[in-house]
Amino acid sequence: MKSTIQKVSILLVSLLLNMHCGYLMIAAGQGEDTGGTNNSELVKGFGYLYILNNLPISNLIEVSNLSGNTTDQGGTSTFNMKLGGSPNSSVSLCLSTTAPTKSEIVIGGDVLAPTGFCTTAVMTYTSGNWSTNQVVTLKGLNDYVADGHTKYDINVEFISSDERFNGKTAKAATLYNVNSNGPGITFTPSRPNCVPFSNLNSASTCSSGSFITNATQVVTFSLTLNSKPTSDVSVCVLSSNTSIGSIYIGSESPNLGADSQCSQGRFLFTPSDWNIGQLVIIQKASSTGAYYISMSLYSSDTNYNIVNDPALTNFMQINGQ
């Protein structure tokens, strides 16, 4: 009876190893009793131990409690992660994001430095803590581009001497970085300044809704873009009557930067200086009367190709005295 049990045990070990591991580790797996009880017990014990330590792990990681999306204003999201089974040796998990300009990975409160095998963030599990959740925090980043919400994945690569993990990959989470950037322009100050032309540093806010200048005054304001463009943005500033008011850009020289699209005043924003204010100066000319200021924006970035927009057409009235 004992011999039969031993045969069945060895056959089961052989079957399980062939099914789950892809190869047979027990040479005496033909179902024959070799006659040596100790040898048979040894083979049987080894088989049980091997199976327990090397059963395949269907889910390499278990992820729970994903809290939500990140935001480009630094909003965070968290999730819990643990291994799906006990490893035979320590397992290093290399975490990466598919949107590195939109998100970063934080473990234990710190963005971990790159290592020799991982260029982003690393966490480690052992046979002692594999079933304990570790918290992964994701922080949204702002690239200042008005390109909508970005979907991204957090991927995991496993490094271990345990072959069930080593070299494997898995997806831990999928979420969005919520974009709050929108195209537009900002005036600084919100009401232009009236200043003596002889001293542009002595600015004071114009007192009237329709800005009044005299022969010794100019109207000044600066402009910035609200989000980072994907290509250069040309801003054209126009006076409805140049005999009353002339446009200056960034200096006291008229028509600086004029081109085929803009006959009066033009300045350029690039992806590297989009948030640096550029000065617009409107000087009273020889005649008197009211005139209007309009703007158009030209760019291959469709967010900033804004021509004949009602909000920028005759948006400012100036009375030249």
CATH code for the domain of 81: 2.60.40.10
pLDDT at 278: 83
Query: What tens digit of pLDDT does each residue of 151-175 get?
Result: 999 999 999 999 999 999 999 999 9
For 53-82, b/e burial (b = at least 16 CB within 10 A) is ebeebeebbebeebeebbbbeeebbebebb
The CATH code of the domain that includes 308 is 2.60.40
Burial zone of 105 (CB within 10 Å; 0-12 exposed, 13-18 middle, 19+ buried): buried
Statement: residue 99 has pLDDT above 60: yes
Residue 51 Cα distances to 12, 76, 102, 105, 295, angstroms:
11, 42, 44, 36, 75
Indicate if 299 and 211 belong to the same structural domain.
yes
Statement: residue 203 has pLDDT above 70: no
Distance between CA atoms of 105 and 277, rounded to whole angstroms? 33
Statement: residue 223 has pLDDT above 70: yes
The residue type at 286: S
Last residue of a domain, one of 156, 178, 200: 178
pLDDT at 127: 93
CA geometry: angle 176, 179, 181, nearest 5 deg: 170
> Long-range pairs for 13-18 at CB < 8 Å and ≥24 separation?
13/43, 13/44, 13/47, 13/48, 13/50, 13/51, 14/47, 16/51, 17/47, 17/50, 17/51
pLDDT at 71: 93
Counting the structural domains of the chain, the total is 3
pLDDT at 162: 95
In terms of residue numbers, what domain contains 193? 185-320
pLDDT at 280: 80
Indicate if 194 and 167 belong to the same structural domain.
no
Statement: residue 5 has pLDDT above 80: no
Last residue of a domain, one of 16, 39, 54: 54
pLDDT at 217: 66
For the record, the structure tokens of 318 come out as: 């100036």
Distance between CA atoms of 161 and 54, rounded to whole angstroms? 12
Indicate if 13 and 93 belong to the same structural domain.
no
CA torsion through residues 53, 58, 59, 60, sign: positive
Q: Rounded mean pLDDT of 38-43?
A: 47
Indicate if 45 and 146 belong to the same structural domain.
no
Indicate if 35 and 66 belong to the same structural domain.
no
Indicate if 77 and 115 belong to the same structural domain.
yes
Higher pLDDT, 212 or 128: 128
Distance between CA atoms of 147 and 229, rounded to whole angstroms? 10
The residue type at 24: L
For the record, the structure tokens of 256 come out as: 């600086």
Nearest to 179 by CA among 152, 153, 156: 152
Indicate if 21 and 146 belong to the same structural domain.
no
Indicate if 35 and 147 belong to the same structural domain.
no
pLDDT at 253: 41
Whether the pTM exceeds 0.85: the reply is no
Look over the chain and give the mean of its residue pLDDT values, rounded to a whole number: 74
Last residue of a domain, one of 10, 28, 54: 54
Indicate if 14 and 48 belong to the same structural domain.
yes
Indicate if 6 and 120 belong to the same structural domain.
no
52 alpha carbon, distance to own chain's centre:
42
Indicate if 91 and 110 belong to the same structural domain.
yes
Indicate if 194 and 148 belong to the same structural domain.
no
